[in-house]
Amino acid sequence: MTSVSENIKENIKAYQQIYKDCSDIKMREMMLGKKKNVRCFLAYIEVAVSNILMETTALGRLLSYLEQAPGEEIIEILDKNALGIADVTPFETMEEAAQGMLTGDAILFVDGYPKALKISDKGYPNMGVTEADSEKVIRGSNEGFADSIKVNTALIRKRVRSTKVKVKEMRPGVRSHTNVNLVYMEDLAYPEIIAEVEKRLNRYEIDGVLDSGVIEQLAEEKWYSPFPQFQTTQRPDRAAMAILEGRVVVLSDNSPVALILPTDYNSFIKTSDDYYNRWEVATFGRILRYIASFFAMTFPGLYLAVTNFHTQVLPTTLLLSFQAARQGVPFPAVFEVLLMEISFELLREAGVRLPGAMGNTIGIVGGLIIGQAAVEANLVSPIVVIIVAFTALCSFAIPNEEFAFSFRILKFAFIAVCAWLGYFGFLISLLMVLIHLSHLTSFGIPYLMPFVGPELTGYEDQRDFLWRFPLRKITKRPIYAKRDKRTKLTRKE
């Protein structure tokens, strides 16, 4: 470590050596004081710092003031931060100063002053607050997280204005030094969970963390599970709601996706507007989503099991209708289903990757054209197109995209096993999924909560489960919060 020297020539030489061959780093020498007899050196990243002569910026005000100050008072002004600039950080080593500038701020060296000062400015360019692309709601805020971690933290504080909200900063990534914030309610969240999150984040040494998805993959306990053990959200109100439940929100710089932990199956089925709408509407929506999550995984396999092995369970008229629809189709039913499922998955992937309106168009028009053309060419039967389309609709009804993707993967496992063993294969596959889910935990919380262990919270969590009780009846926080802090709603007499 090289200490910042009082001799500005040494500081300039050392700093220029650190940022040698970096054309985007701007370095300027200036003279301060009324007599212009105090030499200073300013370094910043191009585009990240605004016009330093503008009076509206903290950096501009500071330099303008120092230009008019007596030279012998400049050191004292800097030492005491006489202007009261909020975000001025002193560094005693050149390495710290060089690293501090990479947050998008300016670094100021003054002759005779043995410290470098980091002064905040506009920072790196980012997209700003936009509408959330996923997790669409009928009622509630349309704000979505931005790419800046500072903006995202502010969006949460905007909704939870409590001094109990704590933000703990970490910097994983030995080369990227990405800012990662743990946001939680001090009196609600278990300290053991905070410690466990920090432990998992520090478990690996990685070059760079460029998105919250990297953190999610490294911190998952059972990495082989298709089911996510972190809940993701792009909505600040969903994150704020989780904090009020005693959960922890992980924000990563440069990522508009926040991680929520612990989580469970039921949390993925809920949406933000479940709590903004009346209880009848919320309950009906949840029941639909639970049914959708089941059929998104099982429907094609169940069709194969019934039509290939157990036709006796179908009414005769329906069976004859299926048979008439399959006349002229040269392939077995399992090939039909796989062909259409893969085609629809390709259309879905193409719709995501293609830009804007073109992606929406190819998803709808491509599905209609391929389905109709395949039926007319006798490659597949109409019933298979209906089965595949219904399954796709069920997967779209699941609010969380990562959670829905789990069922899309398992769907192909059900197709394979049901085509081999029929209804027994369907039951075996379903049993294996349930066993896996029963063993799965997220930071100590059972994944099937409150299907299992409802007595741990005195059956209170079942009031906000498959059905949602009227809001005035949900008086307790879920299992994530500390036991003595479960009450969240009381009626004033």
**27-42: average pLDDT:** 86
Taking only the tens place, the pLDDT of each residue in 160-179 is: 999 999 999 998 888 888 99
Q: Do 260 and 230 meet the contact criterion of CB atoms below 8 Å apart?
A: yes
State yes or no: pLDDT of 449 exceeds 80: yes
- Distance, in Å, from the CA atom of 182 to the CA atom of 487, rounded to the nearest integer, reads 24
To the question of pTM greater than 0.85 for the whole model, the response is yes
- pLDDT at position 300 is 95
- pLDDT at position 360 is 63
Domains in the chain: boundaries: 8-119, 149-263, 279-445, 449-485
Average pLDDT, the chain: 87
Taking only the tens place, the pLDDT of each residue in 185-198 is: 999 999 999 999 99
Backbone angles phi, psi at 252, to 5 degrees: -115, 135
CA dihedral (304, 305, 311, 314) in degrees, to 10, reads -80
Q: Do 491 and 305 meet the contact criterion of CB atoms below 8 Å apart?
A: no
Taking only the tens place, the pLDDT of each residue in 110-162 is: 888 888 888 877 667 676 777 777 778 888 888 899 888 988 999 999 999 99
177 vs 73, residue with greater confidence: 177
State yes or no: pLDDT of 286 exceeds 60: yes
Q: Do 389 and 299 meet the contact criterion of CB atoms below 8 Å apart?
A: no
The single residue listed with the structure tokens 């990479």 is 102
Contacts of 446 (CB under 8 A, 6+ apart): 264, 438, 440, 452, 453
- pLDDT at position 447 is 94
The single residue listed with the structure tokens 């005195």 is 458
C-alpha distances out from residue 310 to 38, 173, 307, Å: 91, 55, 6
Helix (H, G, I), strand (E, B) or coil at 425: helix
> pLDDT category, 79, cuts 50, 70, 90?
confident
The single residue listed with the structure tokens 């903006």 is 151
Q: Do 270 and 400 meet the contact criterion of CB atoms below 8 Å apart?
A: no
Q: Do 465 and 266 meet the contact criterion of CB atoms below 8 Å apart?
A: yes
- pLDDT at position 363 is 66
- pLDDT at position 352 is 78
**70-77: average pLDDT:** 78
For the chain, give the percent of residues with pLDDT over 90: 41
Return the structure tokens found at 479.
């299992």
**415-437: average pLDDT:** 95
Taking only the tens place, the pLDDT of each residue in 389-398 is: 899 999 999 9
> pLDDT category, 84, cuts 50, 70, 90?
low
**461-483: average pLDDT:** 91
**363-386: average pLDDT:** 80
> pLDDT category, 83, cuts 50, 70, 90?
low
